[in-house]
Amino acid sequence: MVSPLKSAAAQLLRIQSFRMAEVIRILKGDYPEAHCYLDFASPFQLLVATILSAQCTDERVNLTTPALFAQFPDARTMKDASKGEIEKLIQSTGFYKNKARAIHETSQVLFEKYRGEVPRDLDALVALRGVGRKTANVILGNAYGIPGFVVDTHVGRITRRLGFTKAKDPVKVEYEVRRFVPESDWVQFSLWLIAHGRTVCTARVARCEECALSKLCPKVGISAHESKSVSDHAISDKGIGRARSSVRKRRVLK
């Protein structure tokens, strides 16, 4: 006989799965064009752009990378650059010394260990300097089409507001939420939520009245139709730029 506790858990799982299927259906319709906002011409360039995007807007990264990639388009040329040259070219993205070091060291490892290619394996990716789980999943999904579930600040915030997780830790969010999402939708799911988080369910204001998910959403942490007090914690990979004021975080996440 199934215990009442197990049966309640199974029922909750069914409800959450049904709710998620509806969320996915709506997001798919609302953001058919959702895509990775970083410009890149190869997996290596996406890796570098993603490292640069820590605590920096995608727009700023896209303004920075053309000059960087014109000089150092791949791991072979980047490993031969001096750290000073890289620093100069990426200065405007912030934390440029840490980022230059990560890009330089990663390029060396890629050249020596992987013939200049970016590995298609999560464990190999997270072993690289400046590459955390979020960056690794971005690469797998957007460069190789391998299902990767990216949890950035938008995905964490919105899935909490939607009641699919209570976790703040991005890895916990990933494991808790992705079980409701078909693997074939993992990459797009993050892109849909990033688009939704930039426009409707932002860190500063949840525009619930305009939100297509409103009827499905318990609005966890939202006190009224819109909340200016809701803040969020930016999630950074491997500590690049971890210590910044909340004011800066909000500006970056706009």
Which residue, among 96, 99, 86, 217, has the nearest Cα to 163 in the 3D structure?
Answer: 217
Cα distance between residue 124 and residue 104, in whole Å? 17
Contact between residue 50 and residue 68 where contact means Cβ atoms under 8 Å apart = no
Annotated active-site residue in 74, 79, 99, 134: 134
DSSP bridge partners of 206: 201
Between 120 and 225, whose beta carbon lies closer to ligand SF4?
Answer: 225
Min CB(131)–ligand SF4 separation in Å? 30
- Among positions 184-213, residues that touch ligand SF4 (CB under 6 A) are 200-201, 206-208, 211, 213
Cα distance between residue 71 and residue 183, in whole Å? 37
What is the C-alpha radius of gyration for the chain, rounded to an integer number of angstroms? 19
Is 214 a residue that touches ligand SF4 (CB under 6 A)?
yes
Amino acid at 104: H
Whether 169 sits among the annotated catalytic residues: the reply is no
6 contacts: CB under 8 Å, gap ≥ 6: none
Angle at 41 between CA 88 and CA 142, to 5 degrees: 110
Between 33 and 209, whose beta carbon lies closer to ligand SF4?
Answer: 209
Interface residue with ligand SF4 among 104, 134, 160, 219 (CB under 6 A) is 219
DSSP helix/strand/coil, 182: coil
Whether 80 sits among the annotated catalytic residues: the reply is no
Cα distance between residue 141 and residue 197, in whole Å? 19
Cα distance between residue 157 and residue 232, in whole Å? 7
Annotated active-site residue in 74, 79, 99, 152: 152
Min CB(138)–ligand SF4 separation in Å? 22
Between 200 and 253, whose beta carbon lies closer to ligand SF4?
Answer: 200
Min CB(219)–ligand SF4 separation in Å? 4
Binding string to ligand SF4 for residues 227 to 246, with x set by CB under 6 A, is what?
--------------------
- Among positions 62-121, residues that touch ligand SF4 (CB under 6 A) are none
Q: Using CB under 6 A, which of the segments 80-88, 157-165, 175-183, 240-248 binds ligand SF4? A: 157-165
- Binding footprint of ligand SF4 on the chain (CB under 6 A): 158, 161-162, 200-201, 206-208, 211, 213-214, 217, 219, 222
- Give the residue numbers marked as catalytic: 134, 152
